[in-house]
Amino acid sequence: MSTATLPAPEPLRVRLAAHIGELLRLAAPVIVSRAGLMVMMAVDTAIVGRFSAQELAYYGLAHLPGNIMVGTGVGLLMGTVMITAHAFGAGSDVECGRAWRRSVPYALLLGVLFALISLLGDPLFQAGGQTPEMAAGGAHVLAVLGLGAPGMMLYITTGFFLEGIKRPLPGMVAMVIGNLVNAALAWALVWGHIGLEPLGAVGSAWATTIVRWGMGLGLVAYVWWMHDHERWQVRLPVSGWWSGAARQRHLGYAAGLSIGVESGAFAALGLFAGMISPLALGAYTVGLNLTALPFMAAVGLASATAVRVGVAYGRGDRSDMALAGWTGLGVTSAILACVGVLYRSLPDALGAIYTNNPELLEAVAPLIAFAAWILIADGGQTVMANALRGRHDAWVPTALHFFSYAVVMIPVSAFLVFGLGHGAHGLFEGILIASLVSVTILSLRFAHLSRR
């Protein structure tokens, strides 16, 4: 009697190396594209911050609700990339184009709603405890930012379509060009160069709005005129865009709510900073921007982790699914730890990029140094949330995000700031506590599901 010889399982070292290589390959284009959004904000923050600390406070205040709306829009439009990717994998090119055509009116609708909400800045800011002067200054900037919301939503949904058909390069090119144009426009409009009147923070808002429309329309034009547009049938009339896209919208609801809750919690902390002083709000804006820049690497790695976990889950390979999730967490933590060393070593030099105001620099340098601890926990929690979504666990991560950032971070930060008098530093202490809670409970959830 003969017995078949089963192939020996691959050593863990080989499997781990394969996971790391594939993770980095999948994450790279997403990191470049998403990081461009934060680079644009970083450049604007530096230009406005070096112009005036007061104008930086207006800029930071306006971007609190502005960032909530953009982040929520990204989440709500994620159904575009999901449906497109599924159709592409199934070989249904026509369905890919249909998903994009249905998403365009939805994206414009979201953009118009965000633009209308942006007109309510003054009463919203005053209700959030800001002084009339701060509220008026921030409201003016927010109203101008809102004009660019429809263009931004067009860019996001069209970029998702291109990513779904494995063509991320046009979106990255549009982002690179947009960043260059934005820097030039902000330099001219904020400071009043080349004969223009200096507009301060409002000038940076106009630059951002112009660039967002340029990127959105530019990417739509690319899709319209790409050489194989007939393959995707992108030029067909849009019909049944609302009723026919119900599943597409539903796929984005959990992600939109999750990102909205997290962004809203960080906006609440920004309001706390504004209640302390304009200087504290400026310092919070710079510190949070420097935290968000490396966080985009975590976003890209989290997206790739979701794909790797999803593939293993589809195969029914429990061991490989767990290895994919923990590999994503480990690689992300290692990369962000390296950035953290830089932040701990050079807080004054990094702060000087954003401002030449001695008082603001003195306030922001400790926040940059402390942000080193936040990076690892915050990056880890977004990776584990996406690992759970790759495991088809969509709503539980949203609930855990709500608990960590709405139930824990907001009251803890308020107590540290107003109860213990920790000032702006207390806000970052609250972020660290919430991020540690989030990464812990999300990791426990993933470990539990990996054993099932």
Which whole number is the average pLDDT over 305-328? Answer: 79
Per-residue pLDDT band for 1 (boundaries 50, 70, 90) equals: very low
**Token pair for 243:** 């009723």
Instruction: Measure Cα distances from 373 to 60, 89, 260 in Å.
Output: 23, 40, 24
Which is more confident, 320 or 189? 189
pLDDT at 428: 95
Q: Crossing angle for the helix pair 12-51 and 278-315, nearest 10 degrees?
A: 160
Give the integer Cα–Cα distance in Å for 435 and 376: 9
Query: To which residue do tokens 């159904």 refer?
Result: 79
Residue 7 has pLDDT above 60, yes or no: no
**Token pair for 312:** 């293993």
Which is more confident, 216 or 307? 216
Q: Is 227 helix (H, G, I), strand (E, B) or coil?
A: coil
Counting every residue written for the chain, the total comes to 452
Longest dimension (CA), the chain: 93
pLDDT, tens digit, 9 for 90 and up, residues 355-401: 888 898 999 999 999 999 999 999 999 999 888 877 777 788 888 98
Query: To which residue do tokens 């080349």 refer?
Result: 194
pLDDT at 10: 67
Radius of gyration of the chain (CA): 22
pLDDT at 3: 47
φ/ψ bin of 239: left (φ > 0), alpha (ψ from -120 to 50), beta (otherwise): beta
Residue 133 has pLDDT above 50, yes or no: yes
What are the helix (H) ranges across 77-200? 78-89, 93-117, 121-127, 132-147, 149-164, 169-191
pLDDT at 242: 86
pLDDT, tens digit, 9 for 90 and up, residues 118-128: 999 999 999 98
Beta strands in 192-259 (DSSP E): none
Instruction: Measure Cα distances from 191 to 60, 131, 196, 197, 423 in Å.
Output: 18, 26, 8, 8, 31
pLDDT, tens digit, 9 for 90 and up, residues 237-290: 887 888 878 888 887 887 788 888 888 888 899 999 989 998 899 899 889 988
Give the chain's mean pLDDT: 88
Question: For residues 168 and 162, is the Cβ–Cβ distance under 8 A?
Answer: yes
Question: For residues 100 and 109, is the Cβ–Cβ distance under 8 A?
Answer: no
Question: For residues 85 and 99, is the Cβ–Cβ distance under 8 A?
Answer: no
- Angle (CA) 393 398 402, round 5°: 150
Question: For residues 78 and 248, is the Cβ–Cβ distance under 8 A?
Answer: no
- Angle (CA) 209 213 214, round 5°: 115
pLDDT at 223: 96
pLDDT at 2: 46
**Token pair for 108:** 């414009």
pLDDT at 80: 86
| CA 203 to mean position of chain CA atoms | 23
Q: What is the distance between the terminal CA atoms of the chain, rounded to a whole angstrom?
A: 37
Name the strand (E) or helix (H) holding 245: none
**Token pair for 42:** 């970083």
pLDDT, tens digit, 9 for 90 and up, residues 386-442: 888 777 777 888 889 889 998 999 999 999 999 999 989 999 999 999 999 999 999
pLDDT at 379: 93
Give the integer Cα–Cα distance in Å for 89 and 247: 18
pLDDT, tens digit, 9 for 90 and up, residues 155-173: 999 988 987 787 878 888 9
Which whole number is the average pLDDT over 325-344? Answer: 93
Kindly report whether the global pTM for this prediction surpasses the value 0.85. no
pLDDT at 25: 74
pLDDT at 9: 59
pLDDT, tens digit, 9 for 90 and up, residues 76-122: 998 887 788 778 777 888 988 999 999 999 999 999 999 999 999 99
Instruction: Measure Cα distances from 64 to 166, 289, 306, 348, 378 in Å.
Output: 33, 12, 28, 25, 19
Hey, what long-range contacts does 267-270 have (CB within 8 A, 24 or more apart)?
267/64, 267/65, 267/67, 267/68, 268/410, 269/409, 269/410, 269/413, 269/427, 269/430, 269/431, 270/60, 270/61, 270/64
Cβ neighbours of residue 328 closer than 8 Å, sequence gap 6 or more: 23, 301, 302, 304, 305, 308, 309, 383, 386, 387
Q: What single letter denotes the amino acid at residue 102?
A: R
